Amino acid sequence: MDIKKELDKKIERKNDDIRALSLQLAEANAYLEALEDMRKMLPRNAQAETEISLRAGSDLANARDVLKKHGKPMHVEELLEKLGKPIAKNSKTSLSGSLASYVREHKIFTRPAPNTFGLVEFAEVAIKEPPDDFGKIAES
């Protein structure tokens, strides 16, 4: 009879362990669902910006590299020249269209002037100091 009581106690302890582990599993699943819900709430651009990459060797990747090297926005004709491409209407249209698709989505490239492209990293706004005579009344 003692063996039966011992087995019953072990069974009860194991059932308690299983209940505790089930509770931990339920809590972990709830936490995981909350994290997934939070991820869904993020704007798509925030997610995409960290994942955007250009295919190595493509005209866009080469244009990005040229812009980084020069450190300033460049006209599409100047970009084509630096890329060693012919400065023809179809090549300008092709490169401009490809760059513009990224500009519209605010990814990688910017268009500070017509047919001029730069990189998003160039677009940091510089805070300018007001002129020395700012706020002074002009003497007549």
d(CA 6, CA 14): 12
Report residue 51 as tokens. Answer: 């994942």
Residue type, 13: R
Q: Quote the pLDDT of residue 23.
A: 92
pLDDT score, position 64? 93
What is the pLDDT, as a whole number, of residue 125? Answer: 47
* Domain residue limits at 85: 54-123
Shared domain for 2 and 62, answered yes or no, is no
Based on the fold, state whether residues 32 and 58 are members of the same structural domain.
no
Q: Is residue 119 domain-shared with residue 58, that is, in the same domain?
A: yes
**Does one domain contain both 35 and 66?**
no
Question: Are 33 and 11 found together in one domain?
Answer: yes
Q: Is 36 a domain residue?
A: yes
- How many whole angstroms separate alpha carbon 110 and alpha carbon 100? 8
Considering the domain architecture, whether residues 19 and 66 belong to the same structural domain is answered as: no
> Are residue 85 and residue 26 in the same domain, yes or no?
no
> Residues 102, 62: one domain?
yes
Count up the domains in the chain and report the number.
2
Same domain flag for 68 and 101: yes
pTM of the entire structure? 0.53
- Contact between 65 and 58 under an 8 Å Cβ cutoff? The reply is no
Mark the ranges of the chain whose per-residue pLDDT is less than 50. 46-50, 125-127
Neighbours of 87 (CB within 10 A): 12
Alpha-carbon dihedral 87, 90, 95, 101, rounded to 10 degrees: 150
Q: Are 76 and 88 in contact (CB under 8 A)?
A: no
CB contact at 8 A, 113 and 73: yes
